[in-house]
Structure 1
Amino acid sequence: MAQNLYGPGVRIGNWNEDVYLEEELMKDFLEKRDKGKLLIQRRRRLKQNLLRPVMLVNPDDPDTEADVFLGGDLSLCMTPDEIQSHLRDELEVPCGLSAVQAKTPIGRNTFIILSVHRDATGQVLRYGQDFCLGITGGFDNKMLYLSSDHRTLLKSSKRSWLQEVYLTNEVSHMNCWQAAFPDPQLRLEYEGFPVLANAKILINHCHTNRGLAAHRHLFLSTYFGKEAEVVAHTYLDSHRVEKPRNHWMLVTGNPRDASSTMLDLPKPPAEDTRAMEQAMGLDTQ
């Protein structure tokens, strides 16, 4: 094939127009790439934001019951059946759940917040909005969804006989949950506001209107040892306020250290504490 040895200066008509068009396209491409506006770059950022892994943590409460066998912060974990885990290499569904003292993000305690409605894709999670919690656990990237259903004589939690919480690969309305503000007096005011990460919230099952709860006083014998039972049940005190069993936090990872979470970062001193330190000459900042 003969080479084209003529430059743009000697071309006329459509030939010259095509050359300048290619130059403009390349210039536009480089400019969008530098600004991160390419479609593939936007999709990558959107996927990272939407599928950002979180840990569901039941925070420690100093005023909790004295008969608990697991204290501290407990994270929600995938719990395969102990017998099936010994007999088979693949994960059996539905799969159980438990709460353990694990602050390090691993495959069995790292969940993904998923949108139920397509019109909410790309938006932040808000109080009163339906959402799903998915997990793969490292099993061939098979997505399992946090689910629950009404208690029956043949289907209930193993220790308390309350409403069971489990993981399933079936997509249905049983996978839908909602976040609620812990203070009932401010709950209506917070409807529609973004859910803050690493802050206490309530997680309620949409179909049964039961709250996700951790039983620190009831243990399960699992493949990984003794772990606390997790159910869907709302515990109210004498003031009709949800007890700490129903309190959860969506804990995000530490961007500076992939093996830790934001809970591991030192907390800044409160404003009143800082003012007192300054008055006493102890604040070095």
Structure 2
Amino acid sequence: MNDHTDKSFMKGYPSRKIEKMYSSKVRIGNWFEELELRKEKTELYIQKRENKELVVQKIRELFHNVCRETRLSRNEDYIKFGNKIQLFAPDMQSSRPNCENINYGVVVAGTVPQDAIGKISRFGNRSPVVCYPKSTPCTRNTFTIKSADYQNRDGNNLLFGQEFILQLTDSPGEDLYLRSPTPLVDDTRGPRQHNRILLSNIKDCYSIWKVLCWDNKMRFETEGSPFPSSTRVVITHMMTGECLAVEGSDWYTSIFGNECGISVHTYRDIFKRETAECLWMFITEEIPRCIEERCE
């Protein structure tokens, strides 16, 4: 049979029928190896799909767990223990410094590092914390105010100068808290070599915070008094005495979009007043689209 006759003979047969025409003894060399590899890959794919081990399945489950919408606690008067809130920095730019469209306002949220994508389906111990511009309340950016003295104070007003703990509201499996541990010699530091902030399952002195009045001249008079939501305050880390701060110059892209760093560090002006990086709001309702009065 010449080449022309051979091609015309093979033309009417699909590749799978041609494979069935020959027994395994005839399939030698690369042909047999490719068929076996293809069969093995197909079986492995089906097995991973049934066990929900595919990367796309894990990413889909991750977004379902950490981006589920939540409902904040709406107060008519003051911030209270047990409230579900967002930490909102209203005076920080919500995009990279060289961006054309300038908007303001970022919220604190948990995130997933690049090397963990496709390996985890929810936040765990030592998950990093960032700021990002999205304002919709969801499981990754909603925190519950808890008492630091192991007493149930839900419903009581949170006072200026009073110690408290921030717990991630929806963290199945284990409770996670906003924590800033003291870095060791060989430990990883946060943005600009400042103390970093993590989600941790450890509730100790490194996870305790307190609220101060944004005006340093009024702190003595306001200590021990409650404060309403959407009021600018300063959040201080008890162990270091430094402030919770947005690192507005440290932007990068993650699986959730553009995010910037957050750390424990006090930024002050020449009058020793905390600057916009350290000014926060406890949000118990939808964040306003625009802030008319903005601190420079």
TM range (shorter): 0.5 to 0.7
2:177, 2:200 within 8 Å by CA — same for their partners in 1? Answer: yes
Aligned pairs (5 A) from 1:266-281: none
Structure 2: 5+ residue stretches without partners: 1-79
CA-CA distance at 1:87 after TM superposition: 1.9
Aligned to 1:164: 196
2:190, 2:263 within 8 Å by CA — same for their partners in 1? Answer: no
**Cα distance change of structure 1 residues 126 and 156 upon mapping to structure 2, 3 Å threshold:** farther
CA-CA distance at 1:158 after TM superposition: 4.2
Partner Cα separation in structure 2 for residue 266 and residue 186 of structure 1: 23
Partner Cα separation in structure 2 for residue 143 and residue 262 of structure 1: 26
CA-CA distance at 1:170 after TM superposition: 1.1
Structure 1: 5+ residue stretches without partners: 1-48, 254-260, 268-285
CA-CA distance at 1:215 after TM superposition: 1.1
Aligned pairs (5 A) from 1:116-195: 116-117=148-149, 118=151, 120-136=153-169, 138-140=170-172, 142-195=174-227
Larger Rg: 2
Partner Cα separation in structure 2 for residue 88 and residue 169 of structure 1: 16
RMSD value, Cα: 2.6
TM-score w.r.t. the length of structure 1 is 0.66
**Cα distance change of structure 1 residues 143 and 119 upon mapping to structure 2, 3 Å threshold:** closer
Give 2:246's match in structure 1, choosing from 214, 222, 240: 214
Aligned to 1:21: none
Partner Cα separation in structure 2 for residue 165 and residue 146 of structure 1: 7
Partner Cα separation in structure 1 for residue 256 and residue 121 of structure 2: 15
What is the identity, as a one-letter code, of the residue corresponding to 1:57? F
Aligned to 2:143: 111
Asked whether 1:263 is paired with 2:288, we answer yes
2:90, 2:291 within 8 Å by CA — same for their partners in 1? Answer: no
1:80-116 CA-to-partner distances (Å, cap 9, x unmatched) read: 2222232233433111111111111111111110111
2:191, 2:263 within 8 Å by CA — same for their partners in 1? Answer: no
**Cα distance change of structure 1 residues 84 and 115 upon mapping to structure 2, 3 Å threshold:** same
What is the identity, as a one-letter code, of the residue corresponding to 1:174? Y
Identical positions, percent: 23
Aligned to 1:54: 85
The count of aligned residue pairs is: 209
Moved more, 198-207 or 76-85: 76-85
**Cα distance change of structure 1 residues 90 and 186 upon mapping to structure 2, 3 Å threshold:** closer
SS at match of 2:272: coil
Aligned pairs (5 A) from 1:65-104: 67=97, 71-104=103-136
Partner Cα separation in structure 2 for residue 149 and residue 141 of structure 1: 22
Partner Cα separation in structure 1 for residue 248 and residue 291 of structure 2: 26
SS at match of 2:221: coil
2:135, 2:287 within 8 Å by CA — same for their partners in 1? Answer: no
Partner Cα separation in structure 2 for residue 133 and residue 263 of structure 1: 23
**Cα distance change of structure 1 residues 162 and 89 upon mapping to structure 2, 3 Å threshold:** same
